[in-house]
Amino acid sequence: MADLLRLLSRLLAVAHQARPEDVPALVMQLAPLIDAREMVVYLVDYDQRQLLPLRGHGAPARDPIAIDGTLPGRAFALTHTYETSDAQRRLWVPLLDGTERLGLLEVVTDAGSEQYRQHLSTVASLLAELIMTRRAYGDAIELTRRRMPMQLAAEVLWNLLPPLTFIGRDVAIAAVLEPCYDVGGDAFDYAVNGDVLHVAIFDAAGHGIDASTVTSLAINAYRNARRCGQDLADTYRSIDNWIALKHPHTFVTAALLELDASTGTLRRISAGHPAELLLRDGKLVKELSAPTALPLGLARRYRREPTVVQESLQPGDQILLYSDGVIEARTADGDFFSVTRLVEFLTRALADRLPAPETMRRLVHAILEHQHEQLQDDATAVLVEWRPTAAPTANPLA
């Protein structure tokens, strides 16, 4: 393979002025530099069911690839490089923005040594960074990921959300949000500041653009309070005040958490939200106490103070935050997905040692299948693991 420094120089030389739709042609131009005949970028769709070839000029014609039941899909799901051979050798390399799964890089080549595969992982990382920087300058990348038009309410919230996955030194997070194209009141947020992980999940009353507007305010009020250095109780009060002031006839349920990654101390407020689940060694330990405060928007009205509850986690412990749309998904005859099914699903996934992002992808599909692909409410879930480096976990998220 050609010198990777030369590849990086070539990439940087042309990338600064590239539009999103120029990326496929740019990738093909780089192919000879890594001893490949073709390179094609696939992006995961919002439903996380298909890998879709990136739209743009100069890319070879390709069809979408199903994630479930295909080897390329397995490469995406498990973030490992796999090889297929028909008339040509093809390597399928995960495209990762940090730990966020963006899609796959297809490489048609005669090479296939272990060192070559390692070099391809480096190339894929560079291309992932290119895709993430270019996406802000046009719509080609976003449009590639959409298999149907997105409603305005969903557009508002998706533009607010952090990446679905973060895996750091001591903590790991994976999240899902459904329905992707018509979500209204559900959202989540997180931030890692020093040793503290801040996590929140929100569920505004109602649906559609009105609900997404309230949730948007809640997320931004949460970030503002956090960035102003307010503690958990004052953060709750700030969000509550803003919602009561600007949307006095509605409310938002939420769970606000702070995890000290240096000690495993978890501080939390459950604002009328379903209780988080504490899992240890792949089994449910308990449902955490809930609620500990009124839903956001009601506390100021009724002059109620929040209660901050503290838990001590053990290395490897997982916390699942979820909205009521997860457990209240139901069949036509009223059979709810339920906390019991949720726990059973997580127990099986952890026993199979699936990576957390794949666990959450399969969870949301299981919820959809239970309700025959027609959710009656938004379903959001966030899985958090405390994995201190001094004590490796038995069931790591990745």
Tell me: pLDDT of 148 over 80: yes
User: Which residue in 37, 160, 52, 25 sits closest to 89, CA to CA?
Assistant: 37
Helix (H, G, I), strand (E, B) or coil at 102: strand
Residue 376 sits in the same domain as residue 355: yes
- Assign residue 319 the CATH number of its domain: 3.60.40.10
Token pair recorded at residue 142? 């976003």
Domain carrying residue 343:
152-386
Tell me: pLDDT of 100 over 80: yes
Integer Cα distance of 291 and 368 in angstroms = 27
Integer Cα distance of 332 and 18 in angstroms = 50
Confidence of residue 394 (pLDDT cuts 50, 70, 90): very low
Predicted pLDDT at 157: 92
Q: Is residue 191 part of a domain?
A: yes
What average pLDDT score do residues 368-381 get?
Answer: 78
Q: Is residue 394 part of a domain?
A: no
- Count the Cβ atoms, other than its own, within 10 Å of residue 188: 27
Tell which of 92, 126, 145 closes a domain: 145
Residue 176 sits in the same domain as residue 298: yes
Q: Is residue 101 part of a domain?
A: yes
Paired residues of 260 in beta bridges: 196, 265
Phi, psi of 113, rounded to the nearest 5 degrees: -70, 165
Q: Is residue 217 part of a domain?
A: yes
Tell me: pLDDT of 372 over 80: no
What average pLDDT score do residues 136-141 get?
Answer: 92
Tell which of 145, 160, 185 closes a domain: 145
Residue 217 sits in the same domain as residue 357: yes
Paired residues of 53 in beta bridges: 42
Predicted pLDDT at 34: 87
Tell me: pLDDT of 220 over 70: yes
Q: How many domains is the chain partitioned into structurally?
A: 2
Integer Cα distance of 341 and 174 in angstroms = 19
Residue 45 sits in the same domain as residue 65: yes
- Count the Cβ atoms, other than its own, within 10 Å of residue 187: 30
**Segment among 3-7, 200-204, 298-302 with least mean pLDDT:** 3-7
Residue 195 sits in the same domain as residue 311: yes
Confidence of residue 350 (pLDDT cuts 50, 70, 90): confident
pTM of the model: 0.91
Predicted pLDDT at 398: 47
Q: Is residue 266 part of a domain?
A: yes
Integer Cα distance of 372 and 330 in angstroms = 9
Integer Cα distance of 105 and 94 in angstroms = 6
Residue 20 sits in the same domain as residue 112: yes
Provide, rounded to the nearest whole percent, the portion of the chain with pLDDT above 70.
95
Mean pLDDT score of the chain: 90
